Chains A and B, each alone.
Chain A
Amino acid sequence: MHTLEPELRTLHAEGVIDDATAARALARNCGQVFSLHAELRATLYAGVLLVMAGVGIVLARNLDRIGPLGIVLALALLAAACSLPAVRARRAGRPVTVAGDYLLLLAALLVSADLAYAERQFTLLGPLWSWHLLLLAIFHAAVAYTFASTLVLAASLAALAGWFGVGGSFGDALFLSTSAPVLGVRALACAAVIAAWRSADRRARPDSTFTDVFDHFAANLAFWGAIAWCAEWPWLAAGLPLLAVLAYASVRRGLDTGREMFLVYGVVYAAIGICAAALPRLHGTTPSLTFMLVVVCAAAATLWLLRRRLRDTGP
C-alpha cells in the first residue's frame, strides 16, 4: 500500500489546495471514499458480452426446435424486459443507473440480433438488406436520446458506420476487404455525417453528454478515410493534405480541451498515413525500414512535446 497523505497535507498547509480539494483528495487517498464504479462496469460489460454470445449460439443451434417466429418473439420480449429498469427510471424522473444503462445496451443489442435474424430468415428487405443497418442506427439513436445513454449511442454510430460500409473489421483496417479509395470515401462520408450530427446535437443541447462519443467516432473514421486515400495514387494528392488538416484539427482540439487522446490521434494517424503514402514508393527493405524508423521517432518526439504543452497550458 502507499498513501500520499503527507504530500496532500503539505499542499493544504501551504494553502496550495483549498479545504474542499484537500478533503476530497485525502478521503480518496486514504480509502475513506472508495468507488466500485470500474469493477461494476467491467462486471456489467462481461454480463452483456456473455448473454449476447449465448444468444448468438441459441440462434444458430435451435432454429428447428423453436422456429423462426418463436425466436424473433422471444428476443423481442427479452429486449423489452431488459429495457424495463431504464423505462422505470425515466418515468420516475430519475437518471438511468449504470446497471440500467448496460441493460439498455443489452436490449439494444438484442434488438439488433433480432432484426439481423429476422432479415436472414424472412429477407424482409431483399437486396436492400443493408438498409436494416440504417434503421437500426435510427432506432438506437432514438433510444439513446430518450434515455441519455452514451453506450446505446455508440451502438447507433457503429450501425451507421456499418451502413456506410465501414465495418471496422481487421480486413477493413488493412484495406483487404475492399479497395482503399472506396473505403476512404465511405469512411469520410460517415465521419462527415457524424460531425454534422454532433454539431446539430451541440446546438440543440449545449450540455450534451454525447459530444465525446461523436468526437471519437468522427475522428477515427475521418483519419482512416484519409489514410485509405493516402495508399493509392491519384487519391494520395487529396489524402495527404486532408490528413494534415485532420491531424492539425485533432491536435488543436486536444490542446484546447485538454484531452490527450486527440493528441494521440493526430500524431499516430499522421505517422500511419505518411508511411502508407511513402512505403509503396520506396524500394528495398532497408530504405523502407529506415524511413519508418524516422517517422516513428518523429511521431514519438512530437507526441511527447505536445503532451508537455498540454500539461503546461491544459485546463
Chain B
Amino acid sequence: MSRWRPSPGEERWLTVAAELGAVVPRSLLAERAGAWRSTGPLARIALFVLGHLAATLLLGILGFSNEAMLLAAGLVAVLTAEWLKVQMHLHASGVEEALGVSGFLMIGFWLSLRIVPASELGGSSFHVLALILAGGAAGLRYLNPFVTTCAAIAFVYWLGSTASARTLDQLVGGGMTAFTSGFALAAVALALGARHYRRPSHDRMLDWLVATLPVAAYVQHATWGYHALAQAPAAVGTGRLATVAMLFALGVAMLLTGLRRRRHAPLLGFMGCVAGLAVEWRLASTVAAETWLIICGLAALVAGAAIDQYLRQPRNGLTSSKLTDREGPLDLLQTAGAALLAQRSAPEAPPESTYTPGGGKFGGGGASGSY
C-alpha cells in the first residue's frame, strides 16, 4: 500500500464499490480499498468546482501584486491537496483534485515566468506550454481523466499555434497540423486501449482521449475553415479531402473498435467523427443552413429510431435498453436539456409589449397579466 495514492488493487475495489452500489456491505469493500475514500459522480463534480473556487479565491486574497503570490497560492493549494490525499485518504473526490490541479497550474505558471519573463518576445507560447505540462502532471498525479484530457486538447491547440505548424499549414492546408496531431493522438489512444490495464483510471484517461480528441481537433480545424471561407473561399479546398478522409477512416475504426470491445468511448468518438463529416458537407456545399440543420437532425432521429427498433431485443449482447435504474448525470442532463429546448421554442415577449423590467406583475415575464 502506498501512502501517496491507492495501489491498483485498492483502486479496483473502489471501482467495484462504485459499480455495485449498496449491494455489497460498505465495510467489506472499504477494508479492501485500504483507507481510501471516494465519492459519487455528482458530488465529485460539485466538489471539483468548489475546490477550484477556493484556490482562485486564495490567489485573489494574496493578490496579483507580484509573481511570488502565484507560488505562495500554488504551494498552499498543492499542500492542502496533498494533505487531503495523504492524511485524509481522499481519492477521486473532486476537492483534492481541483486544489491540486489549481496549485500545479499556479506553480507551473510562476516557474515559466521565472524562466521567460512575461515581457520577452514569444514568451506567451512558452507560458502556455508550461501550463499544459503542469495540468498534465496534475492529472497524472491525481489520476483524473478530465484534467489529462484538457491538457491533451490544449496541447493540440498549442501545437497548431506554433510557428512551425503555421509554416507546415501553408503547405498542407490551414489548421491541418493541429487537426492531424489530434487525430493521431486519438488513434494512438484507441490502439493503446486494447491493452489490459490494472488501474481503471489509466483506462479511463485513454477513453476520454478517444471520445473527445476527434471533436476537439475538428472544432479547431472547422473554426479555421469557416474563417478562411469568409476571407478567401478558394484557399479552403486544399486540406478538405484529407480532412474528410481522416474523419472517415478514424470514424470507421472507432465504430468497429467500440462494437468489438463493447466500450462507450470509441462509439462517442465515432459520433464526433460523423458530426465532423456533416460539417464538412455543409462547408463543401451551397446548401442553406436551415436545410442542412433539418436534414442532419432528421438523419439523427431516423438513425436513432432505427437503432432503437433494431436493438430493442438484445442482439449478440447489444441492446438499446437501460441496464440500470439509478439516476445519473445523464438523466439530469436529459431533463435540463428538454427544459432548455422548451424555453428556447416558447413564445417571447413581443417587442412592442408593455414590458417593464423590475416592475413586473405576476403572470409571465413581468410583462402583463395580473394575479
Residues of A within 8 A of B (CB): 1-4, 7-8, 11, 16-17, 21, 25, 27-29, 31-58, 61, 85, 97-100, 102-103, 105-106, 108-110, 112-113, 115-116, 119-120, 123, 127-134, 136, 140, 150-152, 154-159, 162-165, 167-168, 177-179, 182, 185-186, 189, 212-213, 216-217, 258-261, 263-264, 267-268, 271, 285-286, 289-290, 292-293, 296-297, 299-300, 303-304, 307-308, 310-312, 314-315
Q: Please judge, given known A-B contacts A128-B368, A307-B40, whether A53 and B46 are in contact too, CB under 8 Å.
A: no
Asked if A16 and B46 make an inter-chain contact with CB atoms under 8 angstroms apart, the answer reads no
- Using Cβ atoms and an 8 Å threshold, which residues of chain A touch B292? 54
21 A-B pairs with CB atoms under 8 Å apart are A2-B202, A4-B15, A4-B16, A16-B24, A35-B322, A40-B307, A43-B303, A45-B334, A46-B297, A47-B301, A56-B344, A99-B301, A109-B341, A130-B369, A131-B369, A133-B364, A158-B343, A167-B343, A285-B60, A300-B51, A307-B40
Q: Which residue of A lies closest to B84 (CB)?
A: A304
B340 partner residues in chain A, CB cutoff 8 A: 158, 168
Nearest neighbor of B259 in chain A, beta-carbon distance: A34
Chain A residues within an 8 Å CB radius of B95: 300, 304
A31 CA to B323 CA in the complex, in Å? 12
In chain A, what residue has the closest Cβ to B348?
A116
Give bound CA distance, A16 to B347, whole Å. Answer: 56
* Contacting pair A159 B349 (CB below 8 A): no
Asked if B114 is at the interface (CB within 8 A of a chain A CB), the reply is: no
> In the complex, given contacts A31-B262, A55-B290, what are 4 additional A-B residue pairs having Cβ atoms less than 8 angstroms apart?
A11-B20, A33-B323, A162-B365, A165-B362
**A40 surroundings in chain B (CB, below 8 A):** 304, 307-308, 320
Q: Is the CB of B12 within 8 A of A116?
A: no
Q: CB < 8 Å: which of B25, B320, B343 contacts A162?
A: B343
User: Would you call B346 and A112 a contact (CB within 8 A)?
Assistant: yes
User: Complex Cα distance A136/B343, Å?
Assistant: 11
Q: Which residues of B contact A267 (CB under 8 A)?
A: 46
A51 CA / B290 CA spacing, docked (Å): 8
Cβ–Cβ < 8 Å partners of A308 in chain B: 37, 39
Beta-carbon contact of A21 and B23 below 8 Å? yes
Residue B70 lies at the interface, judged by CB distance under 8 Å to chain A: no
Given A296-B54, A304-B47, A311-B26, A54-B294 contact (CB < 8 Å): yes
Given contacts A45-B337, A311-B26, contact A264 B327 (CB under 8 A): no
In the complex, are the beta carbons of B307 and A36 less than 8 A apart?
Answer: yes
Selected contact of A2 from candidates B203, B262, B359, CB within 8 Å: B203
With both chains docked as a complex, state the minimum distance between the C-beta of B56 and any C-beta of chain A, in angstroms.
9
Within 8 A of A (CB), among B336-371: 336-350, 353-354, 357-360, 362-369
In the bound complex, how far is the Cα of B51 from the Cα of A177, in angstroms?
30
CB-defined contacts of B337 to chain A, threshold 8 Å: 45
Contact, CB under 8 Å: A260 / B43:
yes
Q: How far apart are B353's CB and chain A's nearest CB, in angstroms? A: 7
Question: Inside 8 A of B360's CB, which chain A residues have their CB?
Answer: 165, 178, 182, 186
Are A2 and B362 neighbours in the complex by a CB distance under 8 Å?
no
Contact A105 B271 (CB under 8 A): no
Residue pair B20, A17 in contact (C-beta under 8 Å) = yes
Assembled-state Cα–Cα distance A48/B336 (Å):
14
Within 8 A of A (CB), among B253-286: 261-264, 267-268, 271, 275
> Are B25 and A129 in contact (CB-based, < 8 A)?
no
Question: Which residues of B, 293-330, contact A by the 8 Å Cβ criterion?
Answer: 293-294, 296-301, 303-305, 307-309, 311-312, 314, 317-323, 327, 330
Residues of A within 8 A of B262 (CB): 31, 34
A48 B341 Cβ-Cβ under 8 A: yes
Distance in angstroms from B204 CB to nearest chain A CB is: 9
Complex: how many Å from CA A135 to CA B198? 56
Q: What is the CB-to-nearest-CB distance from A170 to chain B, in angstroms, rounded to a whole number?
A: 12
A155 to B335, CA, bound (A): 9
Total number of residue pairs linking A and B with CB closer than 8 Å = 344
Closest to A154 in B: B338
User: Which 9 pairs of residues, A with B, have the shortest CB-CB distance?
Assistant: A130-B364, A31-B262, A50-B297, A54-B293, A47-B300, A51-B297, A155-B342, A54-B294, A47-B301
**A45 vs B234: C-alpha distance when bound (angstroms):** 35
CB distance from A68 to the nearest CB of B (A): 15
A2 contacts B196, C-beta separation under 8 Å: yes
B61: which of A16, A152, A189, A290 is its contact (CB, 8 Å)? Answer: A290
Partner of B346, one of A50, A57, A152, A158: A158
Q: In the complex the two chains form, what is the Cα distance from A245 to B45 in whole Å?
A: 24
- Given A39-B267, A159-B342: A34 in contact with B319 (beta carbons within 8 A): yes
Whether, in the assembled complex, B5 has its beta carbon less than 8 Å from a beta carbon of chain A, the answer is: no
Smallest Cβ-Cβ distance to A163: which chain B residue: B364
> What residues on B are CB-neighbors of A179 within 8 Å?
358-359
Q: CB-nearest residue of chain B relative to A301? A: B95
Q: B304 contacts which of A8, A99, A264, A286 (Cβ < 8 Å)?
A: A99
Question: Is A129 a contact partner of B347 (Cβ separation < 8 A)?
Answer: yes
When distances are taken between beta carbons in the complex, the residues of chain A under 8 Å from B344 are 52, 56
Expressed in whole angstroms, the Cα–Cα distance for A170 and B105 within the complex equals 29
Check A155/B300 contact, CB under 8 A, given A37-B321, A165-B364: no
> Pick the contact of A1 from B28, B197, B321, B353 — CB < 8 Å?
B197
Please tell me if B93 contacts chain A, counting CB pairs below 8 Å: yes
Cα(A98)–Cα(B362), bound, Å: 37
- Pairwise interchain contact A17-B23, C-beta atoms closer than 8 A: yes
Q: Known: A2-B197, A36-B319, A97-B309. Contact between A314 and B46, CB under 8 A?
A: no
CB neighbours (8 Å) of B317 from chain A are 27, 31-34
**Nearest chain A CB to B346's CB is how many angstroms away?**
5
CA distance A72 to B334 in the complex (A): 28
Q: Contacts of A55 on B, CB cut-off 8 Å?
A: 290, 294
Q: Which of A56, A98, A271 has the largest number of chain B CB atoms within 10 A?
A: A98
In the complex, the answer to whether A303 meets B43 with C-beta atoms within 8 Å is yes
A1 near B195: Cβ-Cβ < 8 Å: yes
